[in-house]
Amino acid sequence: MQVSSGAQSSRTALVNSLMHALLSVGRLMRQRTQGETVDSGSFWLLKNLAASGPQRVTDLAVCSGLDASTVSRHVAQLHSAGLIERAPDPADGRAQRVKLSAAGLERFNAVLSTRRSLLEKCLESWDPGDLKELDRLLTRFAVDVEAFTMESMERA
């Protein structure tokens, strides 16, 4: 099916607007509040450990969509800060797994709470129906982006 140039430029304008909005929201959600010491890359790793439990660094890198050297660097910093613990992998005693420490879980929950509060304040004037529709569409978009990303990684 051929798309007219007017429809294509309209679609391009919408995609550009969406990209701008997503970048703005991403920047806002990555900003650290006063006193917060967890950077956005480390937060993502803490989130994955909180959701999936103890993992090898290589598995954490895969589920985070990052290379192992980047994750290893973050893991070393998180370990030094006492936010994660290392333990032998029960399946292979030569390997190690990392997991959230009690302090790491507490810090993760605090950062998550701060970000949730920020989002709640930004959305407090929204109509519940609009908020539900935003949730539906963003969830659909996130699933599509993740599927596309996984397919791209498999082809590479």
CATH class of 38-122: mainly alpha
Q: Label residue 91 by pLDDT band (50, 70, 90).
A: confident
Query: What digits encode the pLDDT tens for the residues 108-118?
Result: 998 888 889 98
Spacing of C-alpha 66 from chain mean position: 11
Mean pLDDT of 57-78: 90
Is residue 4 classed as helix, strand or coil in its secondary structure?
coil
Closest to 118 measured CA to CA, from 19, 20, 30: 30
Q: For residues 87 and 54, is the Cβ–Cβ distance under 8 A?
A: yes
pLDDT higher at 5 or 45: 45
pTM equals 0.76
Examine the pLDDT at 139 and tell me if it is beyond 70: yes
pLDDT at 149 over 90: no
Rounded to an integer, what distance in angstroms lies between the CA atom of residue 66 and that of residue 43? 13
